[in-house]
Amino acid sequence: MKTTGPGEVSIPFGDGEVLVDLRNADVVAVCGIARYPAVDDIEARVAEAIAAPIGVPRLREMARGARRVAIVSDDATRPTPVADILPPILGELRASGVPDDAITIVMANGSHRLMTANEIEQKLGPGVARRFKVVNHDYRAPDLVDFGCTPSGVPIHVNKEIADADFVIGLGSIVPHRYCGWSGGAKIIQPGVCGEETTVATHLMITRDPSVRLGNVENVVRHEMEEVAARAGLRFIVNVILNADCQVVGIVAGHPVAAHRSGVSKALEVCGTRIREKADLVIAGSHPADMNFWQAGKALYSADLAVKDGGTIILVSPMHEGIGEHKEFGELLSLEYDEIMKRLRQGEILDRLSAAAALAVSLVARRTRIVLVTNGLSDRDVSAMGFVRYDVADLQKAVDDALAPYGNLTRRVVVLREAPDILPMVE
């Protein structure tokens, strides 16, 4: 963390940090992920977790006799240290009698772009990436397998490698999530390795059920994801909890629901933060979800919990890949919530995943003013979304401009340093 002067606050930005001077404001809170100490040996701690899993027998016992095993890893948009998690899992599978050529690793890209060969090697480790069959999930692939529907009618379309496996293991990390309350667990399957129709159906539930909110794990989207994952054959998970430096501070393994809920309890200690009141201005850093606006926009949902009606959210992010692969997302952000819903009902929106994400952002935008501090998007891009843009070098001006209308009144500010992974809770 940068050395700060009186009234200065540092915000993570890419590989570094930026500073903002808040000496003329009432800083309600500067929130970051709790700086828990990292575990001393990730591989050893994973080995311990899978040897005594939550809610299921030991992994080597469960996998014994499996003819095809699929290990599902999260993608380049997540900081999960999969290369450190895999070795003890692979060792346990060997001990159960599963040969290497019976194991496929599936990259759970969800609706994101496919990972590059270099990204896969970095994620899995060079030895693993070259030794095992690795498949990049494509949510629009023609060979997705139809598993019917959930009881509520969500169509279940799953990657063929998952469908062909008789034992599926999911890897990931647990942080607050706008749709399913917390990431991890069944989310590695839905949306991780599902088709577009499945993900559209679960994500549009945001429009129908108030239980779908950041930090609420027992909500309808999470339950649908768990139904999809169970039908797809997810049998075992290994999830980690990370600190502000993306180091592992906790590990859970076992049943996809029971182990996940245990992990959420630990993640709440790390990611949850209390603030005394909501603020007029929330400054939200997007780290570690810096890649594009599709990812960085998650910071808005955390900021939404900390800002007053009519307040301002300043999102500070590199967004080096621009808006992201869902181009219609940016276009839809210029529309009001009701207009997006109308166009959805009339079948006028081609990318309905973009619509679901735009609806979530529009719920924030209709009660706040959103400012993007980034060099990854142009003024034209941001103006088309209905937002205001400043260069990163002008962060201080963005803050001063946001506070100027309050004059001599008290200007309350909350800073969320790693906003996508923070759950603000008003006392």
> What would the pLDDT profile of 376-426 be if each residue is shown by its tens digit?
999 999 999 999 999 999 999 999 999 999 887 889 999 999 999 999 999
Say which residues have a Cβ less than 8 Å from residue 148's Cβ, sequence separation at least 6: 155, 156, 231
Say which residues have a Cβ less than 8 Å from residue 229's Cβ, sequence separation at least 6: 170, 185, 186, 188, 189, 190, 256
Q: What is the pLDDT of residue 324?
A: 86
Q: Which CA distances in Å does 151 have to 154, 156, 223?
A: 8, 11, 11
Q: Is the pLDDT of residue 5 over 70?
A: no
Confidence of residue 364 (pLDDT cuts 50, 70, 90): very high
Q: Is the pLDDT of residue 2 over 60?
A: no
Q: Is the pLDDT of residue 3 over 70?
A: no
Q: Which CA distances in Å does 15 have to 8, 23, 163, 179, 319?
A: 19, 26, 39, 28, 13
Beta carbons of 307 and 279 less than 8 angstroms apart: yes
DSSP 8-state code for residue 22: -
Confidence of residue 77 (pLDDT cuts 50, 70, 90): confident
| Beta-bridge partners for 423 | 272
Q: What is the pLDDT of residue 299?
A: 97
DSSP 8-state code for residue 83: H
Say which residues have a Cβ less than 8 Å from residue 343's Cβ, sequence separation at least 6: 335, 349, 355
Residue type, 38: A
Q: Which CA distances in Å does 369 have to 11, 220, 278, 424?
A: 20, 29, 15, 19
pLDDT in tens, 335-350: 999 999 999 999 999 9
pLDDT in tens, 229-252: 999 999 999 999 999 889 999 999
Q: What is the pLDDT of residue 164?
A: 97
- Residue with the bigger pLDDT between 35 and 236: it is 236
Q: What is the pLDDT of residue 325?
A: 82
Rounded Cα distance between 36 and 27, Å, is 24
pLDDT in tens, 91-137: 999 999 999 999 999 999 998 889 999 999 999 998 998 999 999 99
pLDDT in tens, 259-310: 999 999 999 999 999 999 999 999 999 999 999 999 999 999 999 999 999 9
pLDDT in tens, 164-209: 999 999 999 999 999 999 999 999 999 999 999 999 999 999 888 8
Phi then psi dihedrals of residue 372, to 5 deg:
-105, 125
What the chain holds in terms of domains, given with CATH numbers, is 8-31+276-426 (3.90.226.30), 42-270 (3.40.50.11440)
Mean per-residue pLDDT for 308-330?
93
Say which residues have a Cβ less than 8 Å from residue 55's Cβ, sequence separation at least 6: 254, 255, 257, 258, 259
- How many CA atoms does the CB half-sphere of 168 hold within 13 Å? 27
Tell me the torsion sign for CA atoms 143, 151, 363, 372. negative
Closest Cα partner for 421 from 317, 209, 273?
273
Q: Which CA distances in Å does 407 have to 8, 21, 225, 283, 364?
A: 20, 17, 48, 19, 25
Q: What is the pLDDT of residue 34?
A: 86
Q: Is the pLDDT of residue 152 over 90?
A: yes
Rounded Cα distance between 165 and 416, Å, is 41
Say which residues have a Cβ less than 8 Å from residue 175's Cβ, sequence separation at least 6: 182, 183, 184, 242, 267, 271, 420, 421
Q: Name the helix (H) or strand (E) containing 8.
A: strand 8-13
Helix axes 82-95, 42-51, angle to 10 degrees: 40
Sort strands 234-242 and 167-173 into parallel, antiparallel or unpaired: parallel
* Other CB atoms within 10 A of residue 125 CB: 18
Tell me the torsion sign for CA atoms 328, 75, 173, 36. negative
Rounded Cα distance between 193 and 143, Å, is 12
What residue has token string 């270099």? 118
